[in-house]
A and B are shown apart, each in its own frame.
Chain A
């Protein structure tokens, strides 16, 4: 059994990690940490986890083969020295995802720049072979995962793209915020970042596409949809051929139907799963490609992808503990 610890387990991503790891047949959870909730049972913070015999601790002196850092951006680089060399580390913050140049541009000062190059960017569909040998893995952002996986089959053929993102409230984390209280958050279609969203940095690094994100908060608790626009002379048939590269990927589904309830990706049909649904459309008259990518931000966009990375890094079947079909209807 793999001994796993979750540092920063009181957030939504941390809670999802505990849920997925508790059901994983090859994992034993040895510690879940939270400074704020130390000593409390896990279900006091994550009511869905009632029945798990786990309590939060603030003691980092635990026994683990893998440590998940589910702390806010900027925190991982401050605490990582406590864990280096003791276990494989999967960091779910943004601290080690991108090069120092990109980090400085999009996030600001980095206090552990010497470690950045030691991390592997944990997007299995692109970096599977590196992840197999990795000790340090930077788990991608949720928006970035959706956009990169949609653009990657066209890498080298697209230089710029407009990305419209519709994201759920859980993507904003669990910190109290007046913009997130029910009267303010419900029924919104709110542009919260018109440009220069931080996840653009990951897209530039992985695809060389200068992607301009416009991010909207919408009235969902989980899930996101990325719609990506760019001009390109191609055809639907050629686009199909590009996306055939994903046919053997266990967690990518190509969704493009002419009839039925669902015709193109919609976050409604991936919730609760590690799937990312990708589809496309081509406006021949205007030579405009539209890509669509939907995922559950807490699973393929966070905890599920982290477990997928763990499986790969420990030589397990990549899908172990993640073979859940989406919840429906929600």
Chain B
């Protein structure tokens, strides 16, 4: 079990690979696996609607 860094929900994860993208089943945010031992997840950055203008 890993905690979602965005919503705090406990997520059940299987075998992970570095830089794999997973989705939090509770808040739906996409998370990147940035560490494996221990598992570290980071929110995947999204393009803003105004393209950063």
Contact = CB atoms under 8 A, between A and B. Distances in A.
B6 A240 contact: yes
Interface in B22-43: 26-30, 43
A122 to B, nearest CB: 29
B46 A236 contact: no
A7 to B, nearest CB: 43
A179 interface: no
Contacts of A256: 27-28
B11 to A, nearest CB: 13
B40 to A, nearest CB: 16
A247 B26 contact: yes
Contacts of B27: 240, 254, 256
A240 B9 contact: yes
A241 B27 CA distance: 10
The prevalent SS among residues of B at the interface is loop
Interface in A235-257: 236-238, 240-241, 244, 247, 254, 256-257
A236 B43 CA distance: 13
Nearest to A243: B7
B9 A244 contact: yes
B6 A259 contact: no
A244 B46 CA distance: 24
A175 interface: no
Contacts of A258: 29-30, 43, 46
B28 A241 contact: no
Interface string A209-240: 00000000000000000000000000011101
A241 to B, nearest CB: 6
Contacts of A240: 6-9, 26-27
A311 B7 CA distance: 33
B47 interface: yes
Interface in A251-273: 254, 256-259, 263
A240 B43 CA distance: 15
Contacts of A237: 6-8
Nearest to A238: B8
A259 B46 contact: yes
The interface centre, meaning the residue of B7, B26, B46 with most chain A CB atoms within 10 A of its CB, is B7
15 contacts: A236-B6, A237-B6, A237-B7, A238-B8, A240-B8, A240-B26, A240-B27, A241-B8, A244-B9, A256-B28, A258-B30, A258-B46, A259-B46, A259-B47, A263-B49
Given A240-B7, A257-B28, 4 more contacts: A236-B6, A240-B9, A240-B27, A256-B27
Interface of B: 6-9, 26-30, 43, 46-47, 49
